Amino acid sequence: MNPHKFFRFIILSYRRPADNGGFALPMAIMVGLVLTIIAVVIMQRSMFQQNNSTSKAATDQAQNAAEAGITKLINLMNTPANRFIAALPDCQNWNSGSSTCSDTDSTPSWHNLPNLGSWTITTPGAACQPRVTTTTDITATASNRAWKTLPQGEFRLVSYQYTPDTANGGAIGLGPGTGTLVMEGAINRNAANEARSRLEVKIPITRLPNNASVSSLWVTETATGNEIVAGNQDVYSDIIVNDCNASVDPADFPNSEVAIGTYEAMYSNVPQPDLPPYPACPASNTFATLSGSMTLPRSGDTSTNMTLNDGTTLPAYVYCINKIALGGNDTVNVKTVNPTTGQRFLVMMHVKGDMNVSGNTHLNHSCSGTCTNYKPTDLNIFGYGEAAHSSSPPRILASGGNNIEAFILAPDYVYGVNGGGNDGGVTGSLIIKKVINSSSSNQMRHFWINLGGTGKHH
């Protein structure tokens, strides 16, 4: 073989590998660019998350400030002397331009609390007017809705509006209704990193008590002339009245120690307690008419165990009575302590109709012998006022010479003393519709006593 052709064949058969040197540089640049973009994206995402976290933290702080403002204002509203403002708006005529309240002196609002005496509230009756308050915190808050500082931040009242439930007797100044409180919180207010949060709270407003406590005489209506008691009847106790038209001025109480400041009469919008369900009594404890002379409980009467609110468990003699009609010289003696052993028990009379213990009759609840455990209110009398057994309205007539020691709950009944004597009345508690002057009767005495609570069956 020709050597030149052989070497030429070898040379021609050999091919140089492809040269990648020109592609590697763009590839490296591209990879670097991608990594740079990824790094920038990661950094931006991290910064965004950090900013978002900072913003959320600031918003949370602003919300905490608003919540703290709500708590502070609700606590202020819930102070006993201030509770009536829950049924009032903070301002009825807000001037957004000047950021001031332009309510006139006669407009009921928080702004006008110092002028409370000149208000005209839609609720009738002087007794329902709220008492004068000097709570400057409230008036200042309502006057300009200014920012206030707390450790959590700043807050301001945006508005408080009250919507009365007119279908159920609500009105401006009186529940029930709904209060709408709007509060704004802020952190770093007016700065570049400012955060604000606004919260709205709906507050149900019921008929709140006006500082009234348990009293021995509680009526829902007044007697003639808006007097709480009528006629020549003395009252020696605190009095609660649910009638807005009632006169609670001590000077208007005839012959009463209320007039010299020993006791107090006040309006309350708290409803009277409900009657317990009418029980099912055994035949031995059932009376169509309670009349004649006797001592209760009698031999053969049935008792059941009852637990009081304080946890004490006592035997209880429960009686079902259509009506009480004592006549002549009838006397019913009620015993709630065993005179020999001193054991205490309850007597509970559930009466469907009228209760007549007038004239020379007596319903005596007393104790003789071992009386350490005696309590006047261990005699409970409940009046249900069923039409078939009652006058209209149902009534309780007591003797002028008979003092009844009992807890009496008869929300639909009128009460009067009928007959001569100076010792008639109730020692204990009397919760009724109203007191009437049934005759030229003499005195009606009510003394507050710790009731100890009614019970529940085991």
Model pLDDT for residues 414-449, shown as the tens digit of each residue = 988 765 555 667 778 889 998 876 554 444 444 433
Model pLDDT for residues 310-344, shown as the tens digit of each residue = 888 999 999 999 999 998 889 999 999 988 888 89
CA atoms within 13 A on the CB side of 269: 23
Q: What is the mean pLDDT of the chain?
A: 76
Above 60 in pLDDT, residue 454? no
Give the pair of three-digit tokens for residue 412. 């639909």
Q: Are 417 and 398 in contact (CB under 8 A)?
A: yes
Is residue 9 helix, strand or coil? helix
pLDDT at 87: 85
Q: Helices 21-77 and 136-144, interaxial angle, to 10°?
A: 130
**Nearest residue to 449 (alpha-carbon basis) of 376, 354, 390:** 376
- Report the alpha-carbon distance of residue 182 to residue 286 in Å, rounded: 59
Q: Are 155 and 148 in contact (CB under 8 A)?
A: yes
**Nearest residue to 263 (alpha-carbon basis) of 232, 299, 290, 228:** 228
pTM tops 0.75, yes or no: no
- Report the alpha-carbon distance of residue 214 to residue 454 in Å, rounded: 14
Give the pair of three-digit tokens for residue 37. 């973009």
Above 70 in pLDDT, residue 199? yes
pLDDT at 436: 79
Model pLDDT for residues 214-273, shown as the tens digit of each residue = 557 888 887 766 666 665 566 667 778 877 666 665 544 444 444 444 666 777 767 788
- Report the alpha-carbon distance of residue 311 to residue 379 in Å, rounded: 18
- Report the alpha-carbon distance of residue 445 to residue 401 in Å, rounded: 12
Give the pair of three-digit tokens for residue 370. 């071992």
pLDDT at 130: 53
